[in-house]
Amino acid sequence: MKLDDIRREYLQDALSEDNLQDDPFKQFETWLEHAVASQLPDPTAMVVATVDETGQPSQRIVLLKHLDDNGFVFFTNTGSRKAQELKGNNKISLHFPWHHMERQVIVYGEAKPLPTSAVAKYFLSRPKESQLAAWASAQSRPVSSRKVLMETFANMKNKFAKGEIPLPDFWGGYCVVPTKIEFWQGGAHRLHDRFIYQRQADNSWQITRLNP
């Protein structure tokens, strides 16, 4: 297999100063709407990058669950690797890889823990099986086999067979408050369009075109 021969041209669209919105959240919402309308698989999927105490980055795919003027929201087990790394260093990066549309968005910022009320509201909105899975999984920690995992799931299903499933004390969420947001649109001959929004001291946004 010759990996250096795998390439294609990016010709779908272009991005210019004239069609950029002043607010990066509005620009993101517009692109997300396009991703949903194009029936892109998992349009809310984002790569979440964190760094451990040795400086080693790690990544995983998480679903975006809410967006407002404060930032980008996701939920996770607070014992997970990402949550433990954020406890030591709350700097974070999100990456939305919308390859089908020849677009990417990269978010740089800080992850702020959500209040319990917001976490509970989301947790109770999940399908029952997903709630049970949250209880059954000690996320990121070793498990001897899938059989053991499924047995734990079955035990939780029996334990919470009646009534609502309570919020685990190890379940939480984060709002990623951005300092920078980059929008990337593929261009012909690798001359891509890249614009980065940088938050200023007065909370306004400065927009700069970047070389591809």
The answer for 26, left when phi > 0, alpha when psi is -120 to 50, beta otherwise, is alpha
Catalytic residue from among 190, 194, 199, 209: 190
Q: Helix, strand, or coil here: 170? A: coil
One DSSP character per residue, 3-15 reads: GGG------S---
Chain centroid to CA 212: 24
Catalytic residue status for 194: no
Torsion of CA 174, 63, 166, 137, to 10 degrees: -100
- The most distant pair of C-alpha atoms in the chain lies apart, rounded to whole Å, by 60
Catalytically annotated residues: 190
